[in-house]
Structure 1
């Protein structure tokens, strides 16, 4: 027993074979499926390649940052003059002049005990610091870059802890100033600290910080973190004087230069 070819009907109602119509349509549909799968596969493969390239680039950048303290001239990390457009209270401009650079050191005695304990999980490869004064020489600010021994996971864990526990706002975790003798900062000691900021980077093995105070050596009874001193309605002496802006503004710009140098080092090709 055999079956005839399936039939359809034309516009006149006459029977006609559907085989010739079905085959081309089936072939066309199959071609579309193959093409679609090819495009999807290409897109997925492309995304994998992009993700891999991004991961490699991030790892290279992170690794390159570890050696900046000795690979890059001090003037690149701590420029003699730093412009702070809009960095002051109310968006006022600031200019900071470097008055001292500390020799690169380890971290022994470089921080108060509690801050040293908080930073201990990431280790200490090297610490570099510089102290600046504003254009009127009324304020002094020490900015520091702590190069750690940590991998990305370690820096991320420390950053999360600082954020969750608000460690960057605790007065018992303020960084120490660098009070270079014979400069406007020579009276800038522990009791002169007015405002500060601490930033744990996750794209580089670095902890960046800054601490500010008055250049005349006056003591400060109520120091306030830069984040709190810059907040609307802050009434402490540090906030009213704009010392939170001094610390945060300078720290931001030194951190920015660090990233610029990291990017430049990571993209350099051997000759």
Structure 2
């Protein structure tokens, strides 16, 4: 037989099924909320604690979604901004470091330090260069003192050496027996001169006309050497002279400046006198036979080099002309047409070169 239902319409749903009588229900208080059952079956969500407002530069973190069973999914500690960090702070702090630059070796460095580092490096390099430069200068000066060959001392030594050549060098080196002048004639023609007479070395008394002697007086006269040459045809004669003075470099420079600025080398009244030797083709070579001349005042030695030329047949010259003028293109004077300007200038240049070779490289220069 089927047992009767455990409860009828009048039986409460929570009455015991063993037939016992349930205890009377406690009276309800309408002013208080009913107590919650031990297990909650509602889908109501628990309120979450309020989160701090996100910073202005970061977007708000998304709210967690509900799980498939209706429960709230816990936030991922790794992806959540509110996850605790090792330092105990609620959110990671982000700091923007000082921007970096790179030097010439591609090494990073903070901006602003490169200029300071480069300035220090440049200052150090300048100090090192200064020390090295002072050391080099000091060493050079000390070496010059020890060697006794400084530039100024060398120039003074060569100048003094040139003043002693009149008695330290053989006459054949100062006035070679034969002098070759390649391209020294008119139109670049070659010339050859042969020495016919050498005057004894002497002083300057009576060796120059009074006006030229007065002009040369400030530099003094230490010794005068002279020689006379003739050309290959023996048509022309030329006297070359070396006046060794007592002057220093400043006085020689001053005299050379006067010749240059005042054009004294072109003045007929400042012609040197020739040396006429008996028994030679130059026997009749006197003051009236002077046709062309040149005077050169050296500044690197106490020497005045001069030359004067004329005809070997003893003819007189009414209008002599300086070698500088007679060698000009288109010159039509008798000395110019005969090439006597080239004779005087060419021979003087070669004797001056021979003089410089005896002094040494310090005074050699092309003429």
Fold-level match, TM-score > 0.5?
A: yes
The CA RMSD measured in Å over matched residues stands at 2.6
1:36 aligns with 129
Indicate yes or no: 2:353 matched with 1:256. yes
Indicate yes or no: 2:182 matched with 1:89. no
Shift of 1:101: 0.2
2:275 aligns with 178
2:168 aligns with 71
1:8 aligns with 98
Asked whether the equivalents of residues 64 and 265 of structure 1 are also in contact (C-alpha less than 8 Å), the reply is no
Shift of 1:55: 1.5
Indicate yes or no: 2:265 matched with 1:168. yes
Structure 1 window deviating more from structure 2 (20-29 vs 86-95): it is 20-29
The unaligned stretches of length 5 or more in structure 2 are 1-96, 102-108
Q: Secondary structure at the match of 1:8?
A: coil
Cα distance, 1:81–1:18 mapped onto 2, change above 3 Å: same
Q: C-alpha distance in 2, partners of 1:8/1:181? A: 105
Indicate yes or no: 2:154 matched with 1:57. yes
Q: Which has the higher helix share?
A: 1
Cα distance, 1:219–1:260 mapped onto 2, change above 3 Å: same
Alignment partner for residue 324 of structure 2, among 202, 208, 227? 227
Q: C-alpha distance in 1, partners of 2:306/2:279? A: 23
Shift of 1:20: 8.1
Cα distance, 1:130–1:152 mapped onto 2, change above 3 Å: same
Shift of 1:164: 1.3
Shift of 1:31: 2.5
Runs of 4+ in 1 over 2 A off after TM superposition: 16-31, 35-50
Indicate yes or no: 2:297 matched with 1:200. yes
Q: Based on CA coordinates, which of the two structures has the bigger radius of gyration?
A: 2
Post-superposition Cα deviations, 1:18-74, rounded to whole Å, max 9, x if no partner, equal 798677545422322123334654676689789x82211111000001110000000
Post-superposition Cα deviations, 1:181-234, rounded to whole Å, max 9, x if no partner, equal 000100000010000000111000001000000101011011000000001111
The unaligned stretches of length 5 or more in structure 1 are 1-6, 267-271
1:4 aligns with none
Q: C-alpha distance in 2, partners of 1:211/1:17? A: 84
| Count of aligned positions | 255
Asked whether the equivalents of residues 277 and 283 of structure 2 are also in contact (C-alpha less than 8 Å), the reply is yes
Q: C-alpha distance in 2, partners of 1:160/1:17? A: 67
Cα distance, 1:244–1:46 mapped onto 2, change above 3 Å: farther
**TM superposition score normalised by structure 2:** 0.65
1:215 aligns with 312
Indicate yes or no: 2:236 matched with 1:139. yes
1:112 aligns with 209
Structure 1 window deviating more from structure 2 (53-62 vs 31-40): it is 31-40
Q: C-alpha distance in 1, partners of 2:317/2:139? A: 57
